[in-house]
Structure 1
Amino acid sequence: MSDRAASWDEAPSGLLVLAGDGTVLDANTTLLQWVGRPAADVLGRVRLSQLLSVGGRIYWETHLSPLLHVEGRVDEVALELRGPDGRVPVLMTAVVAPDGLVRVAVSSARDRSRYERELLAARKDADAAAQRTRVLQDVTAALSAAVGRDGVASALLGTTPSLGARAATCWLTDARGRLVAHSVTGEETGTPGTLPPRSWPRTALVDAGRVLVPLHGRSGLLGVLSLLPDDGAGAEPPDLAMLTAVGQQAGAALDRASLFDRSAAIAHQLQQALLTAPLPQDERVVVSTSYRPGVESLEVGGDWHDAFHLDDDVLGVAVGDVVGRGLDAAIAMGQLRSAVRAVAGPGIGPAGVLGALDRFVRRVPDSTSATLLYGELDLVTGRFRFACAGHLPPLLLERDGTPRLVWDGRSTPLGLTAPGSERPEAAVDLVPGDRLLLYTDGLVERRDRPLPTRLDELVEVGAQTLVLGPEEAVQAVTDRLLPPGEGHDDVCLLLLAWHGPA
């Protein structure tokens, strides 16, 4: 063995060489030991994403692989390999070489004590600034999710404890420009009235034992937040600089609130018009759908579903999600949905449809990075051919088998493919009674629970719905995974139930 070969295999880090599509062409002994697989089972047979955990696979396909093709490298990204004894935390660095191959170095994340010491020292130095940043982030997040003037006032009062106050009153201007008491927390409402006119600065000030925070918008003063400071033991004096920044954020939020209702109403009408289109009627298949608007905000998003006949014996289905929210996302969603119908046709195939959409989204910027699962069901044979552009995998509900997620046919989101590359596609052969569930990420993504856990919950719930009719099954999945009162993004579901040839 040459010195070079020995250094490659004995390196303390995992080393790989990938083809442009992610297929592992070479890997050293260290990497193969970490994943617990012989070289014959890996080299030329699997892609890097198949060696990662479920969360790592999704992150690679939807973020890292597109970034690698665009930037040419990614540095020290935390991922998890699937090892024989469980997950192996690693740090990955990848570079696209001039010959088009991807060189990857993977180091164990367990040996990062030096980095942790440096991070700990830096964190200690930044504690004071971090506290202010956290408060501003909380306020900004609350204001960003607020809908209308009422929502902005409620969001401000909800942040009262983090602003160092034990009570607060929010005053908003009326049609005549007067400051009228709008809402209160922690103190008596008292007799509704108005604040006397005065020249309001753009900075927070202390007046008669209260802190007054002017809320200025583009057109002038839009409100005032009056805070009663916390006087308990250990209470800090008011941070007027931070409160001034809060006032600026709230003023901008009030400006947005005046434009929100009109934009949201148009977007809701557009989205509802698209999602309530008649579904195909065919005795060989039942198509059941569900749409739940997000409850964290009344603003619509870019989720959609669609089903249509390509010919008498082939049914096309699509579930997609445009990046972003609001009117722009709804418009882009409508354009992309129409483009799917325009591009799809006999002989095109799922991969061909996604390839055509890659070219389309480059001319519609708001559609770039949209995710889409497009498939075609042969109503005679039960074969479902599909291609998945960065979207979550479909759930196969076999009549006599165990439900499972189908991870095949995956590639990057729309518009993020390398020039000249072809989209992969896959196929599932259904038997009469089998079902396929397509869905958008709002069904399973939560801030407080990891995605793999939520996907496991989806599989479990799907298994329990096999005894229900298609309509009842869609409703049951939606109700179980989206409990009332729990915040979620927009959600679209589409369930295919194949009954067999007529």
Structure 2
Amino acid sequence: MNDRAAAWDEAPSGLLVLADDGTVLDANATFLQWVGRPAAEVLGRVRLSQLLSVGGRIYWETHLSPLLHVEGRAEEVALELRGPGGRVPVLMTAVVAPDGRVRVSVSSARDRSRYERELLAARKDAESAAERTRVLQDVTAALSAAVGRDGVAAALLRTTPSLAARAATCWLTDPAGRLVPHSATGEEAGSTGPLPARSWPRAAVVADGRVLVPLHGQSGLHGVLSLLPDDGAGAEPPDLAVLTAVGQQAGAALDRAGLFDRSAAIAHQLQQALLTAPLPQDARVDVTTAYRPGVESLEVGGDWHDAFHLDDDVLGVAIGDVVGRGLDAAIAMGQLRSAVRALAGPDVGPARVLGALDTFVQRVPDSTSATVLYGELDLRTGRFRFACAGHLPPLLLERDGTPRLVWDGRSTPLGLNVPGSERPEAAVDLVPGDRLLLYTDGLVERRDRPLPTRLDELVAVGARSRALEPGAAVRSVTERMLPAGEGHDDVCLLLLTWLGAA
């Protein structure tokens, strides 16, 4: 037994045993050294997610924990531990044992990262032949996800670096068939002057130091992508064959965009209709909401919010996000929002409401994996009880305190909870003037910035809005977090202000 204990503690990898809720039941000396904590502070006291970085914690709760419950294992997942000297990159492999406990092996990723960099350098020559194919695949993927003419133009401009260009302008045809500058990156749209009058071929051509890529669709010429090639050290000459293929893909995307634009307005009217339920009127509380339709996609989304009285002294609030887009997501959103109202009651409580929703979503497949935060505010005392199924944490804006994200009461998205287990809930005691901001992921998620950074930005922006009246505060948060000109997904916000019992 002593030899086994020594082998356990001296293993070069971190070894853990977790309960089914993620609580660390046992850990070897290697892992405890990485996180810089003694065994007495860890074993039986904290969950593995609490020892991860903010991004790792969210990834564990929304992806890894559900994956373990569904498939029973997860292999070589890159995460970051919070160590005494900063973040520790690791690779985690976890397996659910027959007794329900989770066996976890955590290995250092530093050596692996160094090896991968060396391997990439060694394969540089071999990969150059495949680069053109990868570029075309990236462009095709971007265009396939683009919606509307604006979305296609934006997708093309985002791929400018991959096309070996340092600037680009997208010209699109107007209703009269004339080419007009639509948008640009790295230069002002139209700053290069009008395009030459010509009969546009289907192949990309070089003219006056620029590469002109015609965007032909089935119905004719939709536009031209004008690229200024990269002339930096080591820059490759433009690949006209690849650029011609890009133009063909963009032309087909613009064909689809024309059909979609005609239905986009109707789709968004439906979304607005689903979110216009009257808000509760009560002198003890103020509920202010906002909805910002997505800029990156014109499709109807599954974001929603709601607020309603459970009785004269309890207010129920909810915010959620259904996975996917389109009418199916909108229908699932409406069903889920109605289910919350039907299941909630004065003596039910947030945890039991989410537990009942787990059963409900089994009958509504499009609602599975939806994230929901449901809470109940006692209008007499200011106590806010809530439970969070995979949703982003609410922002607490205390009248006289420091704004902070509330990470308590969290569990997996709907339909992914361990059967028979109760969902956790938490409570926050508000004083008159305190606020809670609930929001969907479109407010903070960006491709070009990590989620922890964006959450820090939200806390700072929320702090600057505390002195504003609720309507102005919501406008301030949305304008600062969603600057004009930046793409974003659908966004729902609900600002809850307790004014006091009297």
The residue type paired with residue 15 of structure 1 is L
Q: Secondary structure at the match of 2:12?
A: coil
User: Which residue does the alignment assign to 1:308?
Assistant: 308
User: Which residue does the alignment assign to 1:453?
Assistant: 453
User: Which residue does the alignment assign to 2:475?
Assistant: 475
**CA 1:245–1:100 in structure 2 vs 1: closer, same or farther (change >3 Å)?**
farther
Moved more, 99-108 or 67-76: 67-76
The structural deviation recorded for 1:92 is: 0.9
Q: Secondary structure at the match of 1:301?
A: coil
Q: Within 1, Cα distance between the matches of 2:117 and 2:98?
A: 34
The residue type paired with residue 387 of structure 2 is A
CA RMSD of aligned residues (A): 3.3
The structural deviation recorded for 1:121 is: 3.2
Is 1:147 aligned to residue 148 of structure 2? yes
User: Which residue does the alignment assign to 1:33?
Assistant: 33
The structural deviation recorded for 1:253 is: 1.8
The structural deviation recorded for 1:279 is: 0.7
Percent identity over the alignment is 73
Q: Within 2, Cα distance between the matches of 1:250 and 1:20?
A: 49
1:429-458 Cα offsets, whole Å, 9 max, x none, are 222222111111121222222222221222
User: Which residue does the alignment assign to 2:135?
Assistant: 134
Counterparts of residues 79-478 of structure 1 (less than 5 Å): 79-112=79-112, 113-122=114-123, 124-138=125-139, 140-142=141-143, 144-148=145-149, 152=152, 180=177, 182-183=179-180, 188-189=194-195, 215=216, 222-223=220-221, 236=237, 238-240=239-241, 242-243=242-243, 245-247=245-247, 249-478=249-478
Moved more, 131-140 or 466-475: 131-140
Is the 1:136–1:246 Cα contact (8 Å) retained in structure 2? no
Moved more, 255-264 or 490-499: 255-264
Q: Within 2, Cα distance between the matches of 1:47 and 1:167?
A: 49
Q: Within 2, Cα distance between the matches of 1:68 and 1:277?
A: 38
Is the 2:135–2:163 Cα contact (8 Å) retained in structure 1? no
1:49-97 Cα offsets, whole Å, 9 max, x none, are 0011111101111111112222221111111111122211111111111
**After the TM superposition, which segments of 4 or more aligned residues of structure 1 sit over 3 Å from their partners?**
113-124, 150-175, 180-191, 204-216, 220-239, 242-245, 297-300
Q: Within 2, Cα distance between the matches of 1:232 and 1:410?
A: 48
1:223-254 Cα offsets, whole Å, 9 max, x none, are 476788989988747443x3564355335423
1:448-473 Cα offsets, whole Å, 9 max, x none, are 22222221222222223332222222
Q: Secondary structure at the match of 1:433?
A: coil
The structural deviation recorded for 1:25 is: 0.9
The structural deviation recorded for 1:182 is: 4.4
Moved more, 357-366 or 391-400: 357-366
Q: Within 2, Cα distance between the matches of 1:89 and 1:140?
A: 30
Is the 1:303–1:440 Cα contact (8 Å) retained in structure 2? yes
The structural deviation recorded for 1:299 is: 3.2
**CA 1:251–1:286 in structure 2 vs 1: closer, same or farther (change >3 Å)?**
same
Q: Secondary structure at the match of 1:259?
A: helix
**CA 1:207–1:107 in structure 2 vs 1: closer, same or farther (change >3 Å)?**
closer
**CA 1:124–1:57 in structure 2 vs 1: closer, same or farther (change >3 Å)?**
farther
Is the 2:135–2:162 Cα contact (8 Å) retained in structure 1? no
Is the 1:439–1:493 Cα contact (8 Å) retained in structure 2? yes
The structural deviation recorded for 1:268 is: 1.0
Q: Within 2, Cα distance between the matches of 1:78 and 1:158?
A: 27
The residue type paired with residue 418 of structure 1 is V
**CA 1:107–1:498 in structure 2 vs 1: closer, same or farther (change >3 Å)?**
same
**CA 1:8–1:232 in structure 2 vs 1: closer, same or farther (change >3 Å)?**
closer
Is the 2:148–2:258 Cα contact (8 Å) retained in structure 1? no
Moved more, 296-305 or 367-376: 296-305
Q: Within 2, Cα distance between the matches of 1:462 and 1:227?
A: 41
Q: Within 1, Cα distance between the matches of 2:268 and 2:230?
A: 47
**CA 1:311–1:88 in structure 2 vs 1: closer, same or farther (change >3 Å)?**
same
**CA 1:154–1:290 in structure 2 vs 1: closer, same or farther (change >3 Å)?**
closer
**CA 1:262–1:66 in structure 2 vs 1: closer, same or farther (change >3 Å)?**
farther
Q: Secondary structure at the match of 2:59?
A: helix
